[in-house]
Amino acid sequence: MITIKIIYHSGYNHTKKQAEHVKIGADKVDNTKVDLVTTEEAIKDIDQFANVDAIIFGSPTYMGSVSADFKQFMDASSSAWFNRSWKDKIAAGFTNSGSMSGEKMNTLNTFIAFAMQHAMIWVGQAELDGSPKEEPGKPDAINRIGSALGAMAQSIQLSPDQTSASSGDLKTAEILGQRVANITKKFKS
């Protein structure tokens, strides 16, 4: 059995939806236990990550970087950093923003630096941009934004009950979750 925690913050539920799709992907791998944890829950109990095999980080891109809530979680993890208790765990990340770029890469780079601070092992996104139709940018294309560092999604609130979340971005999130679970399994065996 491998265990994965997906820790995320979401102010308006767009990144939450992406997190749920990362879980759908990871759940496809046999003998995998996957939990979704909000930053609020994580900060209250940072020790819950000590015994998991992989941690996947998710944050909306706010002002060109991780949200303040996510940064609060990062800082709350300093006891785990000090004890090296996340060393050699698998790590990956995903982010969502309103603009197509919106500086999402900076958010993923922040996750990577954070994971390296904890001596974790980073797993990126493997799909070529726009597969399978080689049409990057199309809403239903996998990795339409073309990120190798982690899963990116672009979404905004179009009306109170409608968002622009694209099927391709959600599928991309699923593929990342599945990849992390498969790699974690290989790494443990």
Ligand X SMILES: Cc1cc2nc3c(=O)[nH]c(=O)nc-3n(C[C@H](O)[C@H](O)[C@H](O)COP(=O)(O)O)c2cc1C
Task: Identify whether the C-beta of residue 55 lies closer than 8 Å to the C-beta of residue 120.
Answer: yes
The count of chain residues that interact with ligand X, using the rule CB under 6 A, is: 19
Of the candidate spans 5-13, 44-52, 83-91, 114-122, the one that interacts with ligand X by CB under 6 A turns out to be 5-13
Tell me the HSE value of 85 on the side-chain side, using a 13 A CA sphere.
13
Which of 62, 73, 94, 114 is in the footprint of ligand X by CB under 6 A? 62
Rounded to the nearest 5 percent, the helix, strand and coil shares of the chain are 40, 25, 35
Among 93, 102, 130, 177, binds ligand X (CB under 6 A): 102
Q: Is residue 136 close enough to count as binding ligand X by CB under 6 A?
A: no
CA 135 to chain centre: 24
Stretch near ligand X under the rule CB under 6 A, chosen from 42-50, 61-69, 109-117, 144-152 = 61-69
Examine residue 83 and tell whether it contacts ligand X (CB under 6 A). Answer: no
> Among 78, 99, 117, 167, which residue sits at the site for ligand X (rule: CB under 6 A)?
99
Which DSSP string corresponds to 83-102?
HTTTTT-EEEEEEEESSSST
Classify the C-alpha dihedral 34-39-77-62 as positive or negative: positive
Short-list 102, 96, 66, CA closest to 176: 96
106 near ligand X (CB under 6 A): no
Of 30-38, 47-55, 98-106, 174-182, the window that binds ligand X (rule: CB under 6 A) is: 98-106
- Contact between 97 and ligand X by CB under 6 A: the answer reads yes
Q: For residues 66 and 110, what is the distance between their CA atoms, to the nearest angstrom?
A: 7
Residues that bind ligand X in the complex, under the rule CB under 6 A: 10-15, 60-64, 96-99, 102-103, 155-156
